[in-house]
Copies of this chain bind each other. A is one copy, B any other.
Amino acid sequence: MEHPYVPRDLQLPGYVPVSLSQSTILTVFGLSSLFVVSLVWLLSGRWRNLSNLDRLLMCWWAFTGLTHMILEGYFAFSPEFYKEKTGFYLAEVWKEYSKGDSRYAGRDTAIVTVEGITSVLEGPPSLLAVYAIATGKGYSYILQFAISLGQLYGTLVYFIAAYLDGDNFAASPFYYYAYYILANSFWILIPSLIAVRCWKKISMAVQSQSQKKNKVR
């Protein structure tokens, strides 16, 4: 079966075409994400005095953590997803996304490496961040900072490796901008904002503690 991906000479023996429509795939992802975000938003509102910003961050961490663990976790450990015949949703997602970046179907080393690290080392810690914010742990900022930095490093490897390999992995400009650029840009923008905020909070806390120590002397 011929595949719809670029470059055209990519070899995918046993490829089975995507069976769900693009709108179905995106709607399922959108509604599941909306469900998770709504649930965390509502539950966190009944929790003791959390700021709206903290509640928003909890929604982000729940959403991104589950995305890392379920979507990206499936990809990282399913080398033959493109042969999947059953219309299994997670395989459909990656068959569809490969139109924007065929390195997924082609099992590019840099992609599998980054997705493996993301799903295993950033997924579960993201859910821990939800808990850490809710309970006001002292490690809350440094944990959020660490995951955000990991996400930024991963996205950077993702884009630089594509550039070095010729940046010719999208089936059309639409898929290039919608999947490859737009979808990934959120994992540049949001981790950057969170990292900067945590950096400031942490620097201030350390500064104020060292001043306190100096006074005690």
Contacts and interface: CB of A to CB of B under 8 A. Distances in A.
Interface of A: 109-110, 112-114, 116-117, 136-142, 145-146, 149-150, 153-154, 156-157, 160-161, 164-165, 198-199, 201-210
A112 B114 CA distance: 15
Contacts of A164: 109, 112-113
A136 B207 CA distance: 9
Tallying the copies of this chain within the complex gives 2
B203 A139 contact: yes
A148 to B, nearest CB: 10
- DSSP class of A's interface residues: helix, strand, loop or mixed? helix
B161 A110 contact: yes
20 contacts: A109-B164, A109-B165, A110-B110, A110-B157, A112-B164, A113-B157, A113-B160, A113-B161, A117-B156, A136-B210, A139-B206, A142-B145, A142-B198, A142-B199, A145-B145, A153-B153, A153-B154, A201-B206, A202-B205, A205-B206
Given A137-B203, A202-B202, 13 more contacts: A109-B165, A110-B113, A110-B161, A117-B157, A117-B160, A136-B210, A138-B203, A139-B202, A142-B142, A142-B145, A142-B206, A149-B149, A153-B153
